[in-house]
Chains A and B, each alone.
Chain A
Amino acid sequence: GQQLNQSPQSMFIQEGEDVSMNCTSSSIFNTWLWYKQDPGEGPVLLIALYKAGELTSNGRLTAQFGITRKDSFLNISASIPSDVGIYFCAGDESNFGNEKLTFGTGTRLTIIP
Chain B
Amino acid sequence: GAVVSQHPSRVICKSGTSVKIECRSLDFQATTMFWYRQFPKKSLMLMATSNEGSKATYEQGVEKDKFLINHASLTLSTLTVTSAHPEDSSFYICSALQGAGQPQHFGDGTRLSIL
Contact = CB atoms under 8 A, between A and B. Distances in A.
Interface of A: 1, 3, 31, 33, 35, 40-45, 48, 88, 96-98, 100-106
B23 to A, nearest CB: 10
B32 interface: yes
Given A97-B104, A103-B45, 18 more contacts: A1-B45, A31-B103, A35-B106, A40-B108, A41-B109, A42-B93, A45-B103, A88-B43, A96-B100, A96-B103, A98-B100, A98-B102, A98-B103, A101-B34, A101-B46, A101-B95, A102-B46, A104-B43
A42 B108 contact: yes
Contact of A106 (B43, B95, B107): B43
Tell me what chain B mostly uses at the interface: helix, strand, loop, or mixed: strand
A92 B80 CA distance: 26
Per CB-CB distance, the 3 closest pairs between chain A and chain B, nearest first, are A42-B106, A97-B103, A103-B43
Contact of A105 (B43, B100, B101): B43
5 contacts: A1-B45, A42-B106, A96-B102, A98-B32, A98-B102
Interface of B: 4, 6, 32, 34, 42-46, 49, 59-61, 93, 95, 97, 100-109, 111
A98 B95 CA distance: 10
A102 B32 CA distance: 17
A70 B102 CA distance: 21
Given A1-B60, A40-B109, A98-B32, A103 B44 contact: yes
A100 B59 CA distance: 10
Contacts of B102: 96, 98
A96 B101 contact: yes
B44 A98 contact: no
A101 B104 contact: yes
B111 A33 contact: no
Contacts of A98: 32, 97, 100-104
Given A42-B93, A100-B34, A1 B101 contact: no
A38 B34 CA distance: 20
